[in-house]
Amino acid sequence: MYGIADLKDSIQIQGAVECPVLGCKTKVPRMTRGGANLNSKKSSLTEYLCRKHKIYISPTTFEYASELDNILWSDKSDLQLWKDIKSVKRESRVARENSEDALSWNVFRYLETSGNMGLYLQSITQEPQTSCTPVYWSYDSETGSTWAPLYSAREEFGELQARSSEPDIIVHTESTVFFIEAKFGASNKTPGSATEVQKKIGNPKKYQTGANGWYNTVFKSTYETVLSDYKYELLRFWLLGSWLASQLNKKFVLCNLVLDKSEPNIVDDFGRHIKQGSNNRFARSTWEDIYLLIQNQRRADSAENKMLSYFRNKSLGYKAGEQSKARIIKAFSV
């Protein structure tokens, strides 16, 4: 895995693009939006591969040839769980340097195995959180399939299971269900265009009518208003999560996990659309909060050191600048 300490401060991106790893002189053709891109099958991307460092190179990021190169935890149990998760996870882009999935897995798997999950959740609610059970991308390790309460919620609100709401991380505790929607380079603005908004408005599934009109129980704003504010993804998670938590007789927290510098007003921006109370809450948390929480534990074991080093050295790709060069972006303010 390559971090800030292994990568060049800037790379040449005019005509050909140089490998971002320090000391490497490899150059590859420039990927273009209209041509090849990292969404393509890797068999068609060999001309963009640095064979020495086993990464596919674009002007703004890179992708590992093997997704395992972007994963911190590789014990047998970790790899088996990851394999099982992929049996229900709709898509996987874990090999990308700027992957939200890879970041979420690396951080939350550590919180789980180190026993710090409850401490992190408590920092959000200011209430003790015990018996913390994580559900990664809807996979229930106890049953080997989609977590049943989420499956039921999808059905209740008219979603097709193959194209349904999939929170990054769900954690259910003794008292609370947490939906954690993680953002790394992307924003909460969904869908991305006015045309797509109108398509979603025209196809509301059962979001407004499901569960005896549950929508009106947990929203102040109309469905059309929330979509027009580009909050479609948060709308779905708030709707499904609050309902399934109520079925379990638990509290619900939808937590938007973002970079410290990103969307500082999201609690107010989305909060004006929803009804919150003692049982339902929308919260913002940052990756940097998690870093500080881990750092303050002062365990100084190998896993903690690896996790903290990951935060300190994580990059978020390259940003095009002057003189046909792109400069590296440090991911976290730590």
- If one counts every other C-beta atom within 10 angstroms of the C-beta of residue 105, the result is 24
pLDDT tens for each residue of 109-130: 999 999 999 999 999 999 999 9
Bridge pairing between strands 176-182 and 251-258: parallel
pTM, entire model: 0.94
The sign of the torsion formed by the CA atoms of 199, 239, 101, 228 equals positive
33: tokens are 């939006």
Matching residue, tokens 């349904």? 164
Q: What number is the average pLDDT over the span 13-35?
A: 87
Q: Where are the domains positioned within the chain?
A: 4-65+315-330, 76-292
Q: What number is the average pLDDT over the span 314-328?
A: 91
Report the pLDDT value the prediction gives residue 188, as an integer from 0 to 100.
94
Report the pLDDT value the prediction gives residue 162, as an integer from 0 to 100.
80
Report the pLDDT value the prediction gives residue 45, as an integer from 0 to 100.
83
Report the pLDDT value the prediction gives residue 34, as an integer from 0 to 100.
45
91 pLDDT band (50/70/90 cuts)? confident
Q: Which residues contact 91 (CB under 8 A, 6 or more apart)?
A: none
pLDDT value at 216 more than 60: yes
For residues 4 and 90, the model is more confident at 4
Q: How far apart are CA 26 and CA 28, in angstroms?
A: 7
- Comparing 86-95, 150-159, 162-171, 190-199, the range with the smallest average pLDDT is 86-95
Report the pLDDT value the prediction gives residue 15, as an integer from 0 to 100.
85
Q: What number is the average pLDDT over the span 289-305?
A: 94
Residues facing 320 on adjacent strands: 326
List Cα–Cα distances, 300 to 33, 94, 197, 205, in angstroms.
44, 28, 48, 50
pLDDT tens for each residue of 58-79: 999 999 999 999 999 989 999 9
Q: Which residues contact 62 (CB under 8 A, 6 or more apart)?
A: 2, 20, 55, 56, 96, 97
Q: Which residues contact 258 (CB under 8 A, 6 or more apart)?
A: 183, 266, 284, 285, 286, 287
Q: Which residues contact 289 (CB under 8 A, 6 or more apart)?
A: 123, 260
Q: What number is the average pLDDT over the span 77-94?
A: 88
329 pLDDT band (50/70/90 cuts)? very high
Contact present, 317 and 311 (Cβ < 8 Å): no
- Comparing 162-166, 187-191, 218-222, 248-252, the range with the smallest average pLDDT is 162-166
Report the pLDDT value the prediction gives residue 35, as an integer from 0 to 100.
46
Report the pLDDT value the prediction gives residue 324, as an integer from 0 to 100.
86
pLDDT value at 174 more than 80: yes
